[in-house]
Structure 1
Amino acid sequence: MPHPPVPARRTLLTLLAAGPAASALGGPAAAPARAASGTTATPASGTTAPTAPGVTVPGIVKALPAEHFTVRGTNAEARFDAFGDAGLLTPNDRFFVRNHTTTPVLDAADWRLTLWGDGLHGRGPVHFSYGQLRDLPSVTRTALIECAGNGRSLYTSQQGEPVTGTSWTLGAVGAARWRGVRLSDVLHRAGIARDAVALQPRGLDAPYVSGGVDHGRVRRPLPVAKAFDDVILAYEMNGEPLPYDHGYPVRLVVPSWVGIASIKWLGDIEVSTRPLTSPWSTDWYRLFGPAHPEGGSEPIGRQTLKSAFHLPFGAALEAGRTHRLTGRAWSALAPVRSVEVSTDGGARWRPARLLDTPRRNGWVRWSAPWRPHRTGPVTLLSRTTDTAGNTQPERAVHNTQGYLFNAVVRHPVTVA
């Protein structure tokens, strides 16, 4: 597979310095990863990422055609209405991009993962190269990645409540088949201590600077209990090496949790015997506002539940003919049990047909026929209930940063 071209104007990143330590598997420690800067690296055999189609937005490598994406600053939201022709898995080239800074272009041949902290038996850093990770027993998990702020703009447009942050509609979510190594296997090989309680994975993207404050590289605490449950270090996405924008060469995948937990371009993991914090668990990714504790909630972990139509807002539908309404439903709390739709603004509900077998950490496609007779504006709604009994409410509980929107979405269309 050819090595992808390096985007222009890429900033050289200064990454972890190599510390004196033996490799976790007895081999030599790999050199620190680096970002390319106007040159094309020559990777080791079997370590190339897929060819990039070109840069259309500074800081994002892959092409972002308008029919599939809406660019939002350093991010690219997938158009949810365009998912109608996609299968259960979101194609790599149509997966949303959430970047705090810019996508680093790294060489797997130079990459290494460093584990360190007082939660390791030896207390010293332990290193894994890309090849050493790939030599470990692999697992494959199908899981959604969803930004904590997915649906954020609906707090304002639908509930009239102000929020801060990227104005996502519903497309900051995607499903992929991830292949990699269990984080628990890596922790065991690194010598995790019995009294370790927290991890702090950190990415290799550039430090995040906001309001003149350098917050450092993206990092967020993860409880050891979750790490030993179902978290993997992924190096493949839908049967291909991770694309640059999605974490190449290695990322975390933390099923059912908010997307910030699935750190991309993973560089190191602190293992600690005490709780850890970062700005991504103190300043952000907590719930603030009158409905929440003074000083904010605990850092958010699990995502919530949603459903949506494969239709643009404001779509025009013809009266007097039968339309097949389709959409998707998902819950991070339990598998989907049912989906209901309303074509009269919520006065009456009827069941939709589920087109897929509901599974943990996944979504289902659904459909419902509708034959409108009257012309004019109509509000469509869909509502998910999962097997744990959670149902989308009419209103989401407001928080000032607009996280975890879970209300029934009021979807306007026009019958003509």
Structure 2
Amino acid sequence: MLLNSHQPLAERMRPVKLDELVGQEHLTGPNGVIRKAILSGNIPSMILWGPPGVGKTTIANIIANEVKKPFYTLSAVSAGVKDVREVIEKAKHSPRSILFIDEIHRFNKSQQDALLGAVEKGTITLIGATTENPSFEVNSALLSRSQVYTLRPLGEDQLLAMIQQALTRDEELKKRHVEIKEHQALLNISGGDGRKLLNLVELICESVPGDVVVTDKLVMELAQKHIAIYDKSGEQHYDIISAFIKSIRGSDPNAAVYYLARMIEGGEDVKFIARRMVILASEDIGNANPTALIMATNVFQAVNIIGYPEARIILSQCVVYLASSPKSNASYMAIESALSAVNNTGDLPVPLAIRNAPTKLMKNMDYGKGYQYAHSYEGNFVNMEFLPDKIKGTKFYEPGNNVREEELRKYLRSLWKEKYGY
């Protein structure tokens, strides 16, 4: 049963006001920088960085609607320098026009350079959306003239709120009786992507006549029938890279090479694949095999020089190596634990003994007093507390259960005794 609308549900439900937006309260809530910018009418050029389906395009549309400025939009997938220059020419007649560029990371250097002058002069206010780290994909000159705002993945409660909004507010869905009896499959398949979630809800409603009772089994059956082919600019892109990463993490070189082949055949950017492997080499292998990070970094550099088709061989070698390597997420867990401590305890004072003391005044204030220089002691080690008093004795790093990190554990145990087991 097709719903009587030409627009997809995700478009029909796209918020037009900040108060309608689900998620991103740190940017659009009462104290959010974007809300404050809208209220002041002073919108800076910005890069919105975050995963798919969390509100990047929606925020750009809301900004344009709220500040009542001319609004132009381009997709970096299809637009070129000529399109950029045409928009800039139009914007000259209305300063501070807003230009929204979706997937700005896909613009090459010359395309990004074409924006620079207009952004500098204030001819346009640029809003770029990207799923990729802008530090890698947006050139430094343009990046320095823009604010970078990070959008967070949507949580379970937020995704369920989006479904409820759609069922109670959408004119088409209100005509149907839809009961969400189970929701886990909806959340799993959508992967935190709000747009994908709403499209899935619509697919279910179109596929089931009469009353709709959503169960995990129903969702899985319908989703399997509608799996899309790989599209580097579409939703399946994120499913394939997820499968690729999880296959390497799961030490399955066969599956990992298969998903690598899917991406290569789909025309995926060689840098995108290589960059993901650099991250994985540290996050999922770490000190279980430190050479993994060195190899992945070298591969990133190599494929940039070589390019396709030969780069496929280099990528394959690295994929097989990473998948076949022992795994550890101990370093990843350590920094996550430390960040949690920082967020919970705030800016704790650094112990006086290890503070920098470049001036006489600081020395008189006991900066550096009592510091014990490790190299002056046997084994180049002295048992001294370096953490702030409030969290002294805390252990953030727990070595993984693998040969290399067991060696690290033994060494740390010999130094710190009770902290690592004695």
Structure number with bigger Rg? 2
TM tier relative to shorter chain: under 0.3
Higher strand share: 1
Using structure 2 for the length normalisation, give the TM-score: 0.21
> Higher relative contact order by CA 8 Å / sep ≥ 6: 1 or 2?
1
Using structure 1 for the length normalisation, give the TM-score: 0.21
Higher helix share: 2
